[in-house]
Chains A and B, each alone.
Chain A
Amino acid sequence: MSHVDDGTLHAYLDGELSPAEVQGVEAHLAQCPACRGRLDEERALITRAGELLALAAPPDRELPPFRVGDVKPPTRLWWKVRLPLAWAATLVLALGIGTYLGSGVEQRQQPETAADAEPARPQALESPLSSERARRESRVKPRVAEMAAIPRDTALSAATPAPAPAPQPGFVMLDGALAEKASPITVDSARALLGADPLAVPGAPIRTMYRAREIGYSAVVIVEQALDSSTVIEVVNGRRSPLPLDAVVVTGAAAPGARADSVSAAERAPLSRARITDSLAAAPAAKAAARPLRRFDNLEIRISGPLPSDSLGKLLQLVQPVKP
């Protein structure tokens, strides 16, 4: 018998040979010291490759619960807009209301002026349909219709009973960009997240710090500060994504063309949907570009609040690192 080739050795070591093949390989190994030596080398190679891949493994987290019939697409950021359509509608609605009312802070400051039962918090977006919301909905209908026009989404939403909007994490409008606002964190956590001292306006008491997520940033911390008893500003500290995203692209885009053929037509449909989400994204991005922004090393700082933009701009010039 001729020597065992590398591929067969790997298949043998991976336990992927048929019993007959195993017999053949072992018969040869028994009488071929050279191949036995190679077997050891390949075994070490497999171990080493496994170790290296383990270095690049995601953090081991608890398995999130699987809920049959209640599996929702991720709801973290706008680009995750997916089925079911009800969620898309909710999001577009959120954008509409956010743009209409201005920042979430503004709402929080003037609860008595708003018509909704609880308009003071961004979470109110998820409250049951009120007449106010119904009225706003008419403003965003064209966009909902546009999304509904994508055949795949239509098909899927028809197949899925549209669930009532479940409680979502709080969303806040940050200078026109939608960011998810998560739970409050400590200064130390903020520091660890940002890899630097978070920045805030000196002299104004810090009420809370939130962790948030926003596109293009690996970490976002929102520092809520009270300027006086009725004015609260939010200092948004964003750490830019450290990974060069174009490198990610090379990896993905270089997939062999043959792979595309293994994809069903239905699975290619997201491309057209991506275009829609792009058009949704373009507006906030352009808007954000026009807003005042300050950079400190890796951090980008913005301030939002119920103040004229030139006042916010001045506050932005005042921000200082919050020292331990």
Chain B
Amino acid sequence: MSSVSPENLAEIYRTTYRALVRFLYRKVWDAERAEDLAQEAFARAVIHKPDNARGWLFIVAANMARDDARRAARERRHLTLLTAEPQETTLASDEAIEVESDRARVRAALDELSPRDREVLLLWDSGLSYEEIAAQTGLARGAIGTTLSRARRRLVQAYEAGKAGEHVARG
């Protein structure tokens, strides 16, 4: 593939931006931060003009999310000096609470996956093909199906187990 022109990149932006935000969101769990990082990934693509822009964007995004998480950890260490008490999420309505707790359950279930399984699953869910996922993760193309089947199974199991656990805890 040849180097991307601005026009190509605009097209890639149109087709990939939301997928990138979706991918990033499952890493940073903050919609605005995910959008910021996606914007920045595209800003870098404009400068770097990578050959395979789509794959490049996801690699850059994954790295930025990881750096972001590390930075957040450092910031948090500072902030714990200011405030120690745990924070409860306060939400407006029952519906919002339900949405939020579903999200938290899925997030917890995703955390149960191995990093590699999770990455493959998130990339697939963001619309990447097996070929692209293999290129990004370094896995053999033939291993993607197996990895995905395991990741999906664990996600569903962990989610159901988490839900069952909550019911037990509530008595």
Contacts and interface: CB of A to CB of B under 8 A. Distances in A.
Interface in B106-139: 106-107, 109-111, 115-116, 118-119, 121, 124-125, 129-130, 136-138
Contacts of A146: none
Contacts of B53: none
Contact of A251 (B34, B105, B111): B111
Given A249-B70, A252-B27, A63 B18 contact: yes
B130 to A, nearest CB: 4
A58 B138 contact: no
Given A254-B115, A289-B81, A249 B129 contact: no
B31 A252 contact: no
A215 B25 CA distance: 18
28 contacts: A7-B142, A7-B143, A7-B145, A10-B145, A10-B152, A16-B129, A49-B156, A53-B121, A55-B106, A56-B102, A57-B22, A60-B18, A64-B35, A64-B39, A66-B14, A66-B42, A73-B39, A74-B35, A74-B40, A80-B36, A242-B88, A243-B30, A246-B73, A249-B72, A259-B138, A267-B59, A268-B63, A277-B71
A63 B12 CA distance: 12
Contact of A240 (B28, B87, B106, B115): B87
A250 B115 CA distance: 10
Interface in B155-171: 155-156, 159
A68 B46 contact: yes
A55 B47 contact: no
Interface in A210-265: 213, 215-216, 239-243, 245-256, 258-259, 261-263
B152 A49 contact: yes
A145 interface: no
Contacts of B150: 6
- The interface centre, meaning the residue of A55, A156, A270 with most chain B CB atoms within 10 A of its CB, is A55
A196 B76 CA distance: 23
A83 interface: yes
Contacts of A183: none
Contact of B66 (A57, A80, A253): A253
B145 A267 contact: no
Contact of A196 (B39, B63, B75, B90): B90
Contacts of A297: 90
- The interface centre, meaning the residue of B83, B149, B150 with most chain A CB atoms within 10 A of its CB, is B149
Contacts of A80: 36, 40
Nearest to A5: B146
A110 interface: no
Contacts of A74: 35-37, 39-40
Contacts of A57: 22, 25
Given A57-B22, A68-B46, A252 B40 contact: no
Closest 8 CB pairs of A and B: A195-B90, A7-B146, A252-B69, A11-B145, A7-B145, A49-B152, A74-B36, A56-B106
Contact of B72 (A11, A83, A242, A248): A248
Contacts of B43: 71-73, 82-83
